[in-house]
Amino acid sequence: MTERSESIPAPTSAATIPAFSPTLDEIAQLAYSYWEARGYQGGSSEQDWLRAEQELRAGLTMSVANSIG
């Protein structure tokens, strides 16, 4: 019996899938919306930026109304 050598593609790993990279403008707009939702008071602009960047990269953005409280 002769064995056939078939080329089976390797499974796609997360490392081979290009990550979504939001623009600085997209991050800034979302971070600003967090500050706006707080009534332009309190919070940390750095934390808003990091949160916006993380959510955009993960694709987990939701309306600001749903994320407060």
**Domain total of the chain:** 1
Q: What are phi and psi of 19, to 5 degrees?
A: -80, 145
- d(C-alpha 26, C-alpha 34), whole Å: 13
Its pTM stands at: 0.59
Q: What is the CA radius of gyration of the chain?
A: 21
Going by C-beta distance under 8 Å and a sequence separation of 6 or more, which residues neighbour residue 19? 57
> Does residue 17 fall inside a structural domain?
no
Q: What local confidence, expressed as pLDDT, does residue 33 receive?
A: 97
Helix, strand, or coil (residue 25):
helix
Cα gap 12→24, rounded to integer Å: 29
In a domain, residue 3? The reply is no
Domain membership of residue 52 as a residue range: 24-67
Report yes or no on 15 lying in a domain: no
In a domain, 6, yes or no: no
- pLDDT, one tens digit per residue, over 3-51 is 555 666 555 555 545 566 899 999 999 999 999 999 999 999 999 999 9
Q: Is residue 30 domain-resident?
A: yes
In a domain, 38, yes or no: yes
Is 18 a domain residue? no
